[in-house]
Amino acid sequence: MKILYQGNEGAYSQLAAEEIFPRMQLIACKTFEDCFKKCVNDENLRAIIPIENSIAGRVADIQYLMNKYKLQIYAEHFHKVSHNLMAKPGTKINNLKYVRSHSQAISQCQKLINEYKLEPIIAADTAGSAKYISENSLKDEAAIASTLAAKKYNLEILKKNIEDDEKNVTRFLFMGKKIEHPEFKNNENFITSCIFKVKDKPAALYKCLGGFATNDISLSKLESFSDQSSFEQYLFLCDIVGHIEDPKVQKSLEELGFHTISLEILGVYKASTFRNL
């Protein structure tokens, strides 16, 4: 198995993948869409995709790509993120004017950015920002990235663990084509993920969710996003606590189906033990 991730070497996605699959070959891709496209065309490829962060919220555009390519989710992983401010060796922190990183990292480190009155520069990814600093003669610009990126691109870490909240965690999904669902077992916890579009009728969402309430099924995530062709109807990304073969989940999905235009199951997978902490 080969695992694709977005970004340059040293990206947090790479670190998260290594935690779970230390012996797998990891391949960097320029964009998230590149990861999705390659997985759709090759059943032997998997992608690790960040979907949301405990501080900054959802990662932009991922829900649209999930709906577009319909890859199957086969695992989730919660990764502790520790950000670091890094620059060319010898750079003084008080001489900095700019800080470069991914928008998520920028939003997760606002306290330090405001403290030193730095002007953010939004880049495609964190590790790519570190690489950019290393390849250019910049004495007034730093990057926010991982310790692995600092080592990879020979940068000096000026400040460690600069995230606003020490409980800074990113949820990653492992996705691929034609993934087999795990066997249903009563003593194990599962997540069933789906995307649905509600009918254009009054109280449509309320009716969609009624089946979950009736069958005592919890939802750990319910996120709306617009259909890219219209603002009149919305799609919902939903994580259901339970296995699709659980009779209660099946009844809930049957009820959901009555009130939706479309319903796509994106995956059934074991719930991370992080959820129990």
The label of the residue with tokens 């600093």 reads: 133
**Domain at 90, CATH number:** 3.40.190.10
Instruction: Enter the pTM of the model.
Output: 0.90
Give a yes or no: residue 184 inside a domain: no
pLDDT at 165: 92
Looking at the fold, whether 72 and 119 belong to one and the same domain comes out as: no
Parts of the chain with a pLDDT under 50: none
Looking at the fold, whether 40 and 104 belong to one and the same domain comes out as: no
* 264 Cβ contact partners less than 8 Å away, ≥ 6 residues apart: 67, 70, 194, 195, 196
For 18-56, how does the pLDDT look when each residue is reduced to its tens digit (9 = 90+)? 998 898 999 999 999 999 999 999 999 999 999 999 988
Distance CA(128)–CA(6), nearest Å, equals 10
Give a yes or no: residue 14 inside a domain: yes
Looking at the fold, whether 212 and 269 belong to one and the same domain comes out as: yes
Looking at the fold, whether 101 and 69 belong to one and the same domain comes out as: no
pLDDT at 215: 97
Percent of the chain that is helix, strand, coil (3-state, to 5)? 30, 35, 35
Looking at the fold, whether 269 and 194 belong to one and the same domain comes out as: yes
Q: For the chain, what is the domain count?
A: 3
Looking at the fold, whether 148 and 215 belong to one and the same domain comes out as: no
pLDDT at 229: 67
Which of 116, 143, 176 is at the close of a domain? Answer: 176
Give a yes or no: residue 182 inside a domain: no
Looking at the fold, whether 32 and 18 belong to one and the same domain comes out as: yes
Give a yes or no: residue 130 inside a domain: yes
Domain assignment of residue 208, given as a range: 190-276
pLDDT at 122: 97
Give a yes or no: residue 53 inside a domain: yes
**Domain at 204, CATH number:** 3.30.70.260
* Type of residue numbered 23: R
Looking at the fold, whether 209 and 271 belong to one and the same domain comes out as: yes
Looking at the fold, whether 197 and 269 belong to one and the same domain comes out as: yes
Which of 176, 207, 229 is at the close of a domain? Answer: 176
Cβ atoms 24, 75 nearer than 8 A: no
Give a yes or no: residue 270 inside a domain: yes
pLDDT at 231: 67
Give a yes or no: residue 48 inside a domain: yes
Give a yes or no: residue 99 inside a domain: yes
pLDDT at 178: 85
Distance CA(272)–CA(277), nearest Å, equals 10
